[in-house]
Amino acid sequence: MEFGKKHMPEDPLVQTVWNIYDAVPPILQSLGKIKNPWPNVDAHSGALLVHYDMKEYEFYTVLFGVSRSLGVLASLCWDRALNFPLERPKSVTNDLVKKWLDGKDEIWGE
C-alpha cells in the first residue's frame, strides 16, 4: 500500500483508494462480524489503470481475465516442467461431499 502513497502522491484517485485502505478495515473489524476486512487485491487496479491513462473501461474485465489466466498458465507450466501434481485449491472429493451432506465433515475446514 505504500507504493501509491510514495510514488503517486499527486493522483487524487489513487490517494483516495489508499485512504480507503487505511480507514475502512478498522471500521469493519470493529463490527466483529467480518473475518477479513481487507479489500480484494484488485480493489485498486482501476485507479492504477486510470493513473496510467488506460481509460477504456470496457477492457478492464478483459485485462483482469488475461492476467489471471497468465498466472494459472504459468503455474501449470511449472507443475508440468517440474513433474509436480496439479494444484487445485479448495477442491473436494465426492466422498468428502457425501460426508458433508450427511453432516459428518466440513468441506472448507471451518
- The Cα 39–Cα 57 span in angstroms is 20
Q: What letter would DSSP give residue 82?
A: T
Output the pLDDT for position 4. 54
pLDDT in the model for residue 53: 92
pLDDT in tens, 82-105: 888 776 666 677 888 788 788 877
Q: Which amino acid is at 84?
A: F
Q: Report H helices in 1-110.
A: 2-7, 12-31, 45-51, 60-81, 94-101
Summarize pLDDT for 27-71 with one digit per residue, the tens: 988 988 888 888 777 778 888 889 999 989 898 889 888 988 998
DSSP state of 32: S
